[in-house]
A and B are shown apart, each in its own frame.
Chain A
Amino acid sequence: MSIIYMLLAISVIVAIIFFIAFVVSVKKGQYDDVYTPSVRMLFDDELVKPDAKENQPLNKVKSN
């Protein structure tokens, strides 16, 4: 049954690690702006567009 000591120690340590991670992320300002990153991640698609245009000019459908 003494395994429970180890399990307890591990669970408390894991919990404290997560807690420290939370405090650090707050301190770094990760939660100061929670909106912009959600928009920003959608932009990544566009970055390939200029290359695609140059490589396959024939496939380019006339844009509006």
Chain B
Amino acid sequence: MESCFHCGEDCQEELINFDEKSFCCSGCKTVYEILNSNDLSYYYDLQSSPGTSPKLSEGKFSYLDNSEIAEKLLEFDHEGTQIASFTIPSIHCSSCIWILENLGRLHKGVKSSQVDFPRKKIRISFSSEELSLKELVVMLARIGYEPNISLENYEEKETSVDRSLIYKLGVAGFAFGNIMFLSFPEYFEMNEFWLEKFKHLFRWLMFAFSLPVVFYSGKDYFISAFKGLRSGLLNIDVPIALGITVLFLRSTAEIVLDLGTGFFDSLSGLVFFLLLGKFFQQKTYSFLSFERDYKSYFPIAVTRISMENGQTKEEQVQVFNIKKGDHIIIRNEELIPMDAILIKGDASIDYSFVTGEAQPVSKKMGDKVFAGGRQQGGIIELEALRSVQQSYLTELWSDEVFSKDKNSQFHNLTNQISRRFTYAVLGIAILAAIFWMFYDSSKAWNVFTAVLIIACPCAIALAAPFTLGNMLRIFGRNHLYLKDANIIEKMAQVDTVVFDKTGTITANDNGSIEYEGLELTEDEKQLLGGSLRASNHPLSRSLYKILDRNNISTPESFKEHTGKGLETSYKELNLKIGSHAFVANSQNTNTEARAQVNPQKTSVFISCNDQYKGCFSFHNSYREGLSDLLNELSENKQLIILSGDNDGEKDRLKKILPKDTKMYFDQKPGNKLQFIKDLQEKNRKVMMVGDGLNDAGALAQSDVGIVISEDINVFSPACDGILDARRFSELGKFFRLSEKSISIIRISFLLSLCYNVVGLGFAVSGNLMPVVAAILMPLSSISIVAFTTLATQFVSKKSSKNEIRS
């Protein structure tokens, strides 16, 4: 099969030859033509088949003509120059960067454009006289780079990037380097004349450098320790803050009283390494968003129609301005933004993302339709029943779970250990001080501070950030993108996994289709293919895809009864395709057909010349490796299926799933949330695996919420992690790796305790030299970093090797 020169997809449905190249659709060909005629064919030299096939529906962006909406989307608008930023999900290669940064050659109204590849964003500055915002967006869409404009953009506030950690790290690193430099001569304590003369200057310079380290770079540790103490919690920052304070005070005292050089080098090194750990843990996937709610899924505007002087008037209105009773128009593939009543047209609404129902639902005039559904088919007219915020689906977001900070209730391993650690260190320090008080009281103060300095748990505090930060990157490489590193620790504790059905354990493609009944003749099959091709109904489309497409006869007469089915004929053949009522109605009662009617199943019935033939039944197709994965997980975890769909698939699921899996059907979004809450009250650690808006509440409530996504660039609800659907079967591997990470952290704790014992030996015996501290502290930190890095790499390599072998 030939692949498309523009997008690289296989030319499955049609093949267009143009300019000695093949294209999969006219959209791709058009993009090629546009680029070629504008001397932009370098696009294809840079990377082979870099394009995305454009999907532009007529009138989609007409709301940008509304100046109020357009104004909100513009970043800057002054004297004919406008600047706008868009997110373009289809940015994926260097060709994309090149073409988008050369938009000026496509239209001279574009002054400049700059791509931010990791964030998949583009910032375009254009002349408003030559190019309107709408024309710009349509131009982007025409070449396959359709910007993603949603309600979220409309409300977007200026987000300031928090760069304070980089500054703190910079300050600490800067001071660390300079202090090391200045303290070098004194490490060797050679009694040279010039050293004696200059050492005071050197010491005061070190003091000056350490001030910003303590009071700026290290300030978070003091704040966190203070907060922890106030709430009666001895977190890891308490001993760290204590260590920093003692280091600073003792060093200052030493240079003031001219007793020695102090420990400024260790102090700045400590803060630098700690911040480095924090920085490393902070891996963000800037092209993903883990905080989305319905707003990034909903459209920014809809078409409102109103009667004015007997004439219907269409206008684009911002969705929040739609009030109860307003009439709106929804076109093919558009989203219904609020609960409404169908007034005109035939609706076939795809709720799969919202409720988990697998097949589109047909609605008749007067039926209620809910927000979040996607219309498939013709234009429909609706009357709004509620405003956007009060709709059935969007009300879910008013639940308190969405405003709660999940991390605040989580006690991680490091903080668990720091409690005992702090007590032990304080105990040793006091005991040692008491001992020296009697033995040689001049050294007691010295020993007390030395113990607190050397026991500062730098290595312990680094173990978790580096292990988890590394794991986070390994997970990312395997296409599980986590929001932050703590999630790995939570994952290791999970004992209950709750799966959504539609879109999560089932694949989003057409599912499998089964035919039952009398076998169709060749002629009948050919006509069936032709009839289905002419129909736009989603069921026809999916059925058409599985049929043999080589021999198709175009029907001579074709009639589509909306909501019922198709009636077509070719020569002597007369086919009826559609619902049971439609097909069976025309003939005498057909017992055979009635037997096959199962209201829970989606089926298409067929009769030929009023003779009942059989029916095609649609089944969900489950993801590859589902059964193996669930069997593996069920070994030590409770599995639960929580579906918004009906229980039509129950029997099939029972065969696939491990025996003790519980199944619940017809669950509303609110039920799902409550269900997870109930589990947690029974002290269960719950992971929710879902995909749609209906899972949003459950995802937020669960300890770990993972979203399965076919295309990580498109919308996914707020969650803790996004898993590429193709890697779904590897979920068990991620669980194993997260458990291994916890073991690695534990081993690192032991290792750093060993360093502490050695250090304490020096401290208690009263011979802690600055040079010893300066060597021991970085050594322990670096070895912990090296150990965790190597261990995580080893563990992940081993697990991927096992995968290949098995």
Q: Is A27 an interface residue (CB 8 A)?
A: yes
Tally chain A residues at the interface, Cβ within 8 Å. 25
User: In the bound complex, do residue A19 and residue B94 qualify as a contact, i.e. CB atoms below 8 Å apart?
Assistant: no
User: In the bound complex, do residue A36 and residue B97 qualify as a contact, i.e. CB atoms below 8 Å apart?
Assistant: yes
Known: A8-B201, A15-B178, A19-B174. A29 touches B161 (CB 8 A): yes
User: In the bound complex, do residue A35 and residue B94 qualify as a contact, i.e. CB atoms below 8 Å apart?
Assistant: no
A27 to B161, CA, bound (A): 10
Known: A26-B170, A32-B161, A35-B118. A49 touches B42 (CB 8 A): yes
User: In the bound complex, do residue B42 and residue A40 qualify as a contact, i.e. CB atoms below 8 Å apart?
Assistant: no
Contact of B166 among A8, A26, A39, A40 (CB under 8 A): A26
User: In the bound complex, do residue A33 and residue B167 qualify as a contact, i.e. CB atoms below 8 Å apart?
Assistant: no
Q: Is B198 an interface residue (CB 8 A)?
A: yes
A49 to B167, CA, bound (A): 43
User: In the bound complex, do residue A36 and residue B98 qualify as a contact, i.e. CB atoms below 8 Å apart?
Assistant: no
Known: A12-B178, A31-B166. A40 touches B161 (CB 8 A): no
User: In the bound complex, do residue A42 and residue B94 qualify as a contact, i.e. CB atoms below 8 Å apart?
Assistant: yes
User: In the bound complex, do residue A15 and residue B198 qualify as a contact, i.e. CB atoms below 8 Å apart?
Assistant: no
Contact of A1 among B115, B117, B166, B197 (CB under 8 A): B197
Residues in B neighbouring A26, C-beta threshold 8 A: 163, 166-167, 170
Closest to B42 in A: A46
Residues in A neighbouring B94, C-beta threshold 8 A: 39, 42
Q: Is B194 an interface residue (CB 8 A)?
A: yes
Contact of A15 among B42, B118, B174 (CB under 8 A): B174
Known: A12-B178, A12-B205, A50-B39. A33 touches B170 (CB 8 A): no
A15 to B174, CA, bound (A): 8
Residues in B neighbouring A29, C-beta threshold 8 A: 161
Residues in B neighbouring A33, C-beta threshold 8 A: 116-119
Contact of B115 among A5, A23, A36 (CB under 8 A): A36
Majority SS at the chain A contact face:
helix
Q: Is B101 an interface residue (CB 8 A)?
A: yes
Residues in A neighbouring B117, C-beta threshold 8 A: 33, 35-36, 39
A40 to B334, CA, bound (A): 36
Residues in B neighbouring A61, C-beta threshold 8 A: none
A32 to B86, CA, bound (A): 17
A26 to B161, CA, bound (A): 11
Known: A8-B205, A26-B163, A42-B94. A1 touches B194 (CB 8 A): yes
Within 8 A of A (CB), among B110-166: 114-119, 161, 163, 166
Known: A12-B178, A33-B119, A39-B117. A19 touches B170 (CB 8 A): yes
Known: A1-B194, A33-B118. A39 touches B97 (CB 8 A): yes
Nearest CB in chain B: distance from A54 CB, A? 10
Known: A33-B117, A36-B117, A46-B42. A23 touches B167 (CB 8 A): yes
Interface residue range, chain B: 20 to 34
Within 8 A of B (CB), among A1-30: 1, 4-5, 8, 12, 15, 19, 22-23, 26-27, 29
A42 to B98, CA, bound (A): 10
Nearest CB in chain B: distance from A24 CB, A? 11
Within 8 A of A (CB), among B192-249: 194, 197-198, 201, 205
User: In the bound complex, do residue B198 and residue A22 qualify as a contact, i.e. CB atoms below 8 Å apart?
Assistant: no
Closest to B96 in A: A39
A40 to B205, CA, bound (A): 44
A44 to B523, CA, bound (A): 60
A59 to B64, CA, bound (A): 47
Residues in A neighbouring B205, C-beta threshold 8 A: 8, 12
Residues in A neighbouring B97, C-beta threshold 8 A: 36, 39-40, 43
Residues in B neighbouring A19, C-beta threshold 8 A: 170-171, 174
A23 to B45, CA, bound (A): 39
Closest to A53 in B: B39
Known: A35-B117, A35-B118. A4 touches B198 (CB 8 A): yes
Contact of B116 among A1, A5, A36, A46 (CB under 8 A): A36
A39 to B116, CA, bound (A): 11
Please indicate which of the listed interface residues A34, A36, A46 has the most CB atoms of chain B within 10 Å of its own CB.
Answer: A36
Residues in A neighbouring B178, C-beta threshold 8 A: 12, 15
Closest to A49 in B: B42
A19 to B178, CA, bound (A): 12
User: In the bound complex, do residue B118 and residue A23 qualify as a contact, i.e. CB atoms below 8 Å apart?
Assistant: no
Closest to B121 in A: A33
Closest to B39 in A: A50
Closest to A39 in B: B94
Nearest CB in chain A: distance from B624 CB, A? 32
Residues in B neighbouring A12, C-beta threshold 8 A: 178, 205
Residues in A neighbouring B197, C-beta threshold 8 A: 1
Contact of A40 among B101, B163, B171, B177 (CB under 8 A): B101
Closest to B98 in A: A43
Residues in A neighbouring B39, C-beta threshold 8 A: 50
Contact of A23 among B114, B116, B170, B194 (CB under 8 A): B170
Closest to A32 in B: B161
Residues in A neighbouring B163, C-beta threshold 8 A: 26-27
Residues in B neighbouring A39, C-beta threshold 8 A: 94, 97, 117
Nearest CB in chain B: distance from A13 CB, A? 12
A33 to B115, CA, bound (A): 9
Give me the 8 closest cross-chain CB pairs, A-B, nearest first: A36-B117, A33-B116, A39-B94, A46-B42, A19-B174, A35-B117, A35-B118, A26-B166
A-side residues, CB < 8 A to B, are: 1, 4-5, 8, 12, 15, 19, 22-23, 26-27, 29, 31-36, 39-40, 42-43, 46, 49-50
B-side residues, CB < 8 A to A, are: 39, 42, 45-46, 94, 97-98, 101, 114-119, 161, 163, 166-167, 170-171, 174, 177-178, 194, 197-198, 201, 205
Q: Return 16 A-B CB contacts under 8 Å, by A number.
A: A1-B194, A12-B178, A19-B174, A22-B170, A26-B167, A27-B163, A31-B166, A33-B116, A33-B118, A36-B97, A36-B116, A36-B117, A39-B117, A40-B101, A43-B101, A46-B42
Given known contacts A19-B174, A42-B94, what 19 new A-B pairs fall within 8 Å (CB)? A1-B197, A8-B205, A15-B177, A15-B178, A22-B174, A23-B170, A26-B166, A26-B167, A27-B163, A29-B161, A31-B166, A33-B116, A35-B118, A36-B97, A36-B115, A36-B116, A40-B97, A43-B101, A46-B45
